[in-house]
Structure 1
Amino acid sequence: MLFRLRDRLTWQRSAAFPLLVLTSIYLCISHFAAFELNGVLANAAMILAIAIAMPTAFEHSNQRVANFLGDVSYGVYLVHVLIIEVLISLGWFSYGGSSQSSSSIIWMFVLVLSLSTIVAALFEVAIQDPIDRWRRQRFYGVPAPQTDIKK
Structure 2
Amino acid sequence: MNNNSLSTKPHYPILDGLRGVAAIIVVTFHLTEPLGTGHLDILVNHGYLAVDFFFLLSGFVIGYAYDDRWHKMSIGTFFKRRIERLQPMVVLGMTLGAIGFYFTDSTIWPLIHTIPLWKMLLVMLIGYTILPVPLSLDIRGWEEMHPLNSVGWSLFFEYIANILYAVGIRKFSKTALSILVLIAAIALAHLAITSPSGDVSGGWTLNAEQVRVGFTRTMYPFFAGLLLSRIAKPTRIKHAFLWCSLLIALVLYMPRIGGAEHVWMNGIYESVAIIFVFPLIVYLGASGVVETHTESRICKFLGDISYPLYLVHYPLVYFYVAWISNNKGITIVQAWPYALLILIGAIVLAYASLKWYDEPVRRWLRKKLG
Question: What TM-score bracket applies, with the shorter chain setting the length?
Answer: 0.5 to 0.7
Q: Which residue of 258, 278, 283 corresponds with 1:55?
A: 283
Higher RCO (CA < 8 A, seq sep 6+): 2
User: Cα deviations across residues 71-103 of structure 1 (Å, max 9, x unaligned)?
Assistant: 5433222222212122334x4x56xx9x967x9
What's the counterpart of residue 4 of structure 1? 227
What's the counterpart of residue 41 of structure 1? 268
Once structures 1 and 2 are overlaid, which stretch shifts more, 75-84 or 131-140?
131-140
* Structure possessing the higher radius of gyration over alpha carbons: 2
| Matched residue SS, 1:126 | helix
Q: Which residue of 298, 303, 321 corresponds with 1:88?
A: 321
User: Cα deviations across residues 12-53 of structure 1 (Å, max 9, x unaligned)?
Assistant: 23233123213213311236xxxxx75753323422322222
Structure 1 residue runs of 5 or longer lacking an equivalent are: 32-36, 141-151
Q: Which amino acid aligns with 1:122?
A: A
Describe the shift of the 1:139–1:25 C-alpha distance in structure 2 as closer, same or farther (beyond 3 A): closer
Describe the shift of the 1:12–1:26 C-alpha distance in structure 2 as closer, same or farther (beyond 3 A): same
- 2:309–2:346 contact (8 Å) kept in structure 1: yes
| Matched residue SS, 2:239 | helix
| Superposition deviation, residue 125 in structure 1 | 0.7
TM-score normalised per structure 1: 0.54
Measure the CA separation in 2 of the matches of 1:8 and 1:109: 41
| Superposition deviation, residue 126 in structure 1 | 0.7
Describe the shift of the 1:42–1:132 C-alpha distance in structure 2 as closer, same or farther (beyond 3 A): closer
Structure 2 residue runs of 5 or longer lacking an equivalent are: 1-223, 257-262
How many residues in Structure 1 have an aligned counterpart in Structure 2? 131
Describe the shift of the 1:69–1:43 C-alpha distance in structure 2 as closer, same or farther (beyond 3 A): same
CA RMSD of aligned residues (A): 4.4
Describe the shift of the 1:20–1:11 C-alpha distance in structure 2 as closer, same or farther (beyond 3 A): farther
- 1:28–1:106 contact (8 Å) kept in structure 2: no
Describe the shift of the 1:129–1:28 C-alpha distance in structure 2 as closer, same or farther (beyond 3 A): same
% identical equivalent positions: 19
What's the counterpart of residue 245 of structure 2? 20
